[in-house]
Amino acid sequence: MLRRIRRPSFWLGGMASVAAGALFVVPGTDGRAGAAAGADARPAAATAGATTPFVTVEAETGTLGGGAAVRSLKPGAAVPSVATLETEASGNSLVELKGTSNSVTLKNSSGKAANSLVVRASIPDSATGGGIDATLDLYVNGTYRQAITLSSKQAWNYRDATTNPDDPNAGGMPYRFYNEFPVRVTGTAIPAGGTITLRKDSANTAAVYDVDSVDLENVGAARTQPADSLSVVGYGADPNFGTDSTAAIQNTVNAARTQGKSVWIPPGKYLTNSLSGTTLNFTGVTVEGAGMWYTTIYRRPPLPATWRSQILVGSGTTLRDVQIDTNAVWRGVGGSGGADYGINASGAGGWLVERIWTRHTDANWLSGSNGIVRDSRTADSYGDGFNINNSNTPNPDKLGYHITVQNNFARGTGDDSFATYSDAGASGTNGQVDGAKIIDNTAIAPWWANGLRIAGGRNVEMTDNLVNSVSSNSALDIGVFGDTGHPLESATVSGNVLIGGGGWNGVRHGVRISSPASTSLYPDAYTNVTLSNNVLRGAFRAGLYIDRKNVNVTLTGNTIDAPADQGIWVASGVTGTGTFSGNTIQNLRSGQVATQNDSASTFDITG
């Protein structure tokens, strides 16, 4: 159940670095991220995914006690037509603690002590919506250590509710069940090889606790103030979460920009709930925190929100070593649920974002030119995890040129975990996104949309990413965006490990390749993509599905393993070419075929 990771990482500021050979548990794998069942997995895919300083242990791999039960959804089973706790769980499995003394015990297999946890779990909504709080008891090596507070106040939305997305009594479909709960372990750290137990005791009042996974991490000391920097505390910011710090932080940034200095945000939790209607703008300045476990900018606009709470990153900006969290309760940028972008990056002069952790935000929205996001996390979002785009505008500061998203970890996103999106606009005047790179990232359990998405663009590179447990759509979707999306002129997809896909949202598959719709600005354009050395594994329907009409695809050296339906399915009405060589399709179920081409007269497969 363990994946041995390559390269060292120093990515979570304020934390101990991780040497090569650290362990990261990947749900559903059999020892390597790229290992398909049998011996045909390609070496290029064996190292897919982000390098992280934490170990994720799936709850269903633990030892159950007191009557606890595992709930799971297996490939080949009927795919639910609605979201379920199983579809949204990593590995599509969870442990249910329903009665007093129900428990699950997990081993710290990281090879080092762990002083911090992230518990991913779900507890019920309240009867009228809005959620509840409840504790769950934590034991270390069998001895009670502390109570962990869980909450459903930022979970349990209801799709197509007639009143609002937080109302359980308005006819909507429930989804977005889970949240992540960071925990600093009190007392001594959990030793390597030691155990943690999560147990529902009599003081734990939720009717049920659905535990998905636990991250174990050894968080190092906080970073210290850099030389030649201005501290936001010196300008009046409150690290104790008592008073609004919006103006103080912005004033520090403005002063640093004038003086040619950087900005330092010391350890603390900084409240930003100003009613001024302005957002924090870090353009042209280096802004640094003490580490994502130490420095938090918490956005708390009064709901319904009447102002934008995103953080702007522009040309010449560096942002690092902070956590950004919010009080948002449903999606709708700048709207009544309080959601807004984590960061909104633009600028022709380049920018750098590293070692940040966004929680309960909408997308991290990435435009401009020559920007980089790396070594970061996002969780429990209401939109995409990380989205490379042209910001739906012809603005030269928002072109979407040569943006790189590398070595990031996304879990529980409310849209595509990692995406590139090129929108031409209603009049076709927006430029084509060019040179997007999505490399070495991990996408776990998005509750809406896809793990990875390529929606138009030119010279797109999507390499060595890991996707597991997509609830609603596909592990990877390749094509265009809506009726105004630019065509996909060229993309290379290589070395990715794509586990699952084919969720509850209509007829979805492991990987989907499509083209512009007949109603789009470019109805006759072709989607042009090369897929090589990828592993497509355990899809809940077809492993690879090609639909609509104009597609040119090259498939080389891929492994499609154990899909529930066909290995490759070309739908009727597709025009184009498929150049296939050196692919392996294995472990088909009874009655299924390796390749089904329902467009044999118009879609020519060679090789």
3-state secondary structure 476-488: EEEECCCCCECCE
CA angle 490, 492, 493 (to 5 degrees): 135
What string of DSSP letters covers 108-122?
--SSS-B-EEEEEEE
The CA-based diameter of the chain, rounded to the nearest angstrom, is 72
* CA separation for the pair 144, 121 (Å, rounded): 20
* CA separation for the pair 451, 462 (Å, rounded): 12
Contact 450/476 with Cβ under 8 angstroms? yes
Pairing of strands 268-272, 295-299: parallel
Chain centre to alpha carbon of residue 285 = 27
* Residue 46 pLDDT: 56
List CB contacts of 456: < 8 A, sequence separation 6 or more. 420, 421, 422, 423, 424, 432, 433, 479, 480, 481, 485, 486, 487, 488
Q: What is the DSSP letter of 16?
A: -
User: How many Cα atoms sit within 13 Å of 200 on the Cβ side?
Assistant: 24
Give the Cβ contact number of residue 82 at 10 Å.
12
Sign of CA dihedral 352, 354, 358, 363: positive
C-alpha distances in angstroms, 98 versus 67, 76, 102, 209? 8, 28, 7, 6
Residue 349 phi/psi, 5-degree rounding, is -95, 5
Q: What is the DSSP letter of 46?
A: T
The b-or-e profile of 287-311 (16+ CB within 10 A means b, else e) is bbbbbbbbbbbbbbbeeebeebbbb
| Token pair recorded at residue 340 | 């807004």
* CA separation for the pair 480, 487 (Å, rounded): 6
> How many contiguous H segments (helices) and E segments (strands) does the chain have?
2, 52
* CA separation for the pair 426, 173 (Å, rounded): 32
* Residue 76 pLDDT: 81
What is the Cα Rg of the chain in Å? 23
* Residue 199 pLDDT: 98
C-alpha distances in angstroms, 360 versus 331, 503, 554? 10, 23, 38
* CA separation for the pair 216, 323 (Å, rounded): 18
Domains and CATH numbers, the chain: 54-217 (2.60.120.260), 226-266 (no CATH), 292-606 (2.160.20.10)
Chain centre to alpha carbon of residue 607 = 36
List CB contacts of 253: < 8 A, sequence separation 6 or more. 263, 280, 281, 282, 285, 287
Contact 248/41 with Cβ under 8 angstroms? no
Chain centre to alpha carbon of residue 276 = 31
* Residue 34 pLDDT: 33
The b-or-e profile of 464-490 (16+ CB within 10 A means b, else e) is bbbbbbbbbbbbbbbbbbeebbbbbbe
Q: What is the DSSP letter of 247?
A: H
The b-or-e profile of 114-132 (16+ CB within 10 A means b, else e) is bbbbbbbbbbbbeeebebb
C-alpha distances in angstroms, 265 versus 233, 298, 299, 347, 364? 7, 13, 15, 24, 21
What residues in the chain have per-residue pLDDT under 70?
A: 1-46
| Token pair recorded at residue 567 | 């290995």
Contact 269/241 with Cβ under 8 angstroms? yes
List CB contacts of 406: < 8 A, sequence separation 6 or more. 372, 373, 374, 375, 437, 438, 439, 440, 441
What string of DSSP letters covers 59-107?
GGGSEEETT-EEEE--TTSPPPSS--HHHHSGGGEEEEE-STT-EEEEE
C-alpha distances in angstroms, 463 versus 294, 384, 406, 524? 32, 19, 10, 28
**Torsion over CA of 209, 178, 23 and 437, rounded to 10 degrees?**
180
What string of DSSP letters covers 195-217?
EEEEE--TT--SS-EEEEEEEEE
